[in-house]
A and B are shown apart, each in its own frame.
Chain A
Amino acid sequence: MKCFDVAVIGAGVVGCAVARELSRYSLSICVLEKELDVACGNSGRNTGMLHAGFTYRPGSLKAECAVEGNREFDQVAEELDIPFKRTGKLVVGFDEKDRKNILKYKVIGEENGVRGMEMIDKKRLNEIDPNAGGEFAMYVPSSGILDPMQYTIALAENACMNGAEFLFDHRVLEIERRDERYIIHTPAEDVSVRWVFNCAGMYASQISEMLGYPNYPVKGFKGEYYVLDKKAGKEMKIPIYPAPNDKGGFSTHATPTVDGNVLVGPDSYVVEESEDYKVTKEHMDGLFEDGRKVFKEMKREYFIRNFSGIRWKRYDPETGAILDFMLEADEKNPCTVNLVGIESPGITCALPLARRAVAKLVEKEHPAVNESFNPRRKGIRRFLDMSLEEKEQAVKENPDYGEVICRCETVTRAEILQAVHNPLGVCTVTGIKNRTRATMGRCQGGYCETRITDLIQKEIGISEDQIRYSRKNSYMFTGKVRDEK
């Protein structure tokens, strides 16, 4: 049986942030993940917004962590070498009711310590973004955009290079307390640890119960998205949200991504099933109609893909009220840290939450500091982002940079090979995609997917019937057309 000091359950953004923060100490760490890669759940299924923190109840963990996470993110992005743009955000309004609802958030934001928010008139609005609708707006300079997938991967890779071990395809079935240790049963193997961090996202309540905490009631709010072509994103520089409704909710909006696409969505509806990520005609039609109101370039010819995510919110069954993030470490369940109901703004809050979670362990046993900890991680250098001279130089140093595999996103063989040999050992097609953007463009892999599967096969040395698309049983091929035999 493998033994570790700590097991982190779940390789979403929070689990990976916890693993990374734990790796600052001399601890043996494993991350148990049921899927074949990080960020397979809702960490990779959201808008990729670095929230400012003006919508959360003052004094709440959400508010505290969002503001903290927002302030530090330039440094985080630099350390982890991930794309990030502090674009700011516009919340636009048309009438006095809108103004009233926007101002409510301005007051909350100021109380939470969000800096630089200001009400701006139409003239300023047009200066910031001539394509924005609305008569006035609240300008929030601290909001930003990032790629939540790249961010989670970066956290995980940084944790990994600092010693954390990622165990994929390890779904936690049962946790047993034995001789001051926790024996975690998974279909792959049993793992013995002293500490358990529950970062299981949508399954956090089940893990919570396994650890001796309550099975907290959670409710799933699903949202669907459209991804639009970069052509649509050409003119879009800043996320534009419509004024909140009287209940404080935002309807469908359009957001630029760090790569230059546009996301339209999410809408919001309640679902039961943990991983009901299917997209539906009803909601796609709704997004198209609502999206057109806020984003003029919402045209069918720009459709690239749809996806959905579910925000699993903790709520009070008596009143129905949505509750704050739960972060607890109860001595009744020794050496456990329980994180439940971590939903939006989970990306923004991941590192602040991780620090608070890790502090529970540090306060209790004062582990030695990991002297060789390195907070910096290098990402895959993108050919697309290089100047002509840099491209020339990159090809000279590594001819694989001269071989374009994905035409739409101009991803080269060098990048694909780095992704295939990623530190976490992920080798699904989706894994390569999330690390390089190959297949993410308008042809959706029509040109490059066959080349990527070929490279995976040759580099990893597996037969075609072992190549997987994304999930455990997502085998792509039934075998060869013509066999040697």
Chain B
Amino acid sequence: MLRQFTCIMCPMGCSLEAEVLPEGRVEKVTGNNCKRGKEYAVREVTNPVRNIASSVLVENGELPLASVRLNAPIPKKDIFPVMAEIRKIKVTAPVSIGQIVLQDVLGTGSDVIITKNVKRKAEEL
């Protein structure tokens, strides 16, 4: 069976075609311009993964929210359960880029990390 994908690994957005064998193994990938495109197609067939970005509440921050993302992609099916976990997180300013605010979210092996420096509110200093 031939399956088609748009590669999301970089902005080029290559159109990929993967030949998938009946047992689910990828026989051949075409249309990719790099190694990552091939890997992407294989993963899309076997276990598609995505990164997600969102925000968490910051207490005493100069901003009400700090943005977060995952430091490694998670299976697509886990996106909404992970979002539910992110929604529960509350941090206290200051927070800085790279800080882990939730480790190994739902056992996915990915951590939720801060992507924006948020200082404490001026009057709180």
Does a CB–CB distance below 8 Å link A and B in the complex?
yes
Minimum C-beta distance from B53 to chain A (A): 13
| Residue with the highest number of chain B CB atoms closer than 10 Å, among A481, A482, A483, A484 | A482
In the complex, what's the smallest C-beta–C-beta distance from B86 to chain A, in angstroms? 9
Please give, as numbers and ranges, the residues of chain B lying within 8 Å of A482 by CB-CB distance.
55-57, 64-65, 87
Q: In the complex, A31 Cα to B113 Cα: how many Å?
A: 56
A467-485 interface code vs B (CB 8 A; 1 in, 0 out): 0000000000000011110
Chain B facing A: main interface SS: strand
- Give the number of residues in B that approach A within 8 Å (Cβ atoms): 6
Contact pattern, B 53-76, Cβ under 8 Å of A = 1, otherwise 0: 001110000001100000000000
Q: Compute how far the CA of A484 lies from the CA of B57 in the bound complex, rounded to whole angstroms.
A: 8
B57 neighbours in A (Cβ, 8 Å) = 482-484
Residues in A neighbouring B64, C-beta threshold 8 A: 482
> How many Å lie between the Cα of A483 and that of B56 in the bound state?
10
Within 8 A of A (CB), among B41-57: 55-57
CA A481 to CA B63, docked complex, whole Å: 13
Q: Which residue of B lies closest to A482 (CB)?
A: B57
Min CB–CB distance B73 → chain A (angstroms): 23
- Please report the C-alpha to C-alpha distance between residue A483 and residue B57 in the assembled complex, in whole angstroms: 8
Kindly report which residue of chain B lies nearest to residue A483, judged by CB atoms.
Answer: B57
Closest to B57 in A: A482
Instruction: Report chain B residues within 8 Å CB of A484.
Output: 57
Q: Give A481's nearest chain B residue, CB to CB.
A: B55
Nearest CB in chain A to that of B58: its residue:
A482
Q: A8 to chain B: closest CB distance in Å?
A: 43
How far apart sit A481 and B67, CA to CA, in the bound complex (Å)?
Answer: 12
- Nearest chain B CB to A399 CB, angstrom units: 15
Taking the closest CB of chain B, its distance from the CB of A483, in whole angstroms, is 8
Q: Which residues, 427 to 485 on A, are CB-close (under 8 Å) to B?
A: 481-484
The CA of A484 and the CA of B65, in the complex, are separated in Å by 11
A481 to B87, CA, bound (A): 9
Q: A125 to chain B: closest CB distance in Å? A: 57
Contacts of A483 in B (CB 8 A): 57
A478 to chain B, nearest CB (A): 15
User: Given the complex, which residues of A lie within 8 Å of B55, measured CB to CB?
Assistant: 481-482
* Shortest Cβ distance from residue B100 to the other chain A in the assembled complex, whole angstroms: 19
CA distance A482 to B65 in the complex (A): 8
What distance in Å separates the Cβ of B101 from its nearest Cβ neighbour in chain A? 13
Residue of A nearest to B87 (CB): A482
Report the separation of the CA atoms of residues A482 and B55 in the bound assembly, to the nearest whole angstrom: 8
Whole-angstrom distance between the Cβ of B75 and the nearest chain A Cβ? 25
Give Cα distance in the complex from A484 to B56, angstroms. 11
Q: Smallest distance from the beta carbon of A477 to chain B beta carbons, Å?
A: 13
Please name 7 further chain A to chain B contacts, defined as beta carbons within 8 Å, in addition to the given A482-B65, A482-B87, A484-B57, sorted by A numbering: A481-B55, A481-B65, A482-B55, A482-B56, A482-B57, A482-B64, A483-B57
Would you give 7 A-B contacts (Cβ < 8 Å), ordered by A? A481-B55, A481-B65, A482-B55, A482-B56, A482-B87, A483-B57, A484-B57
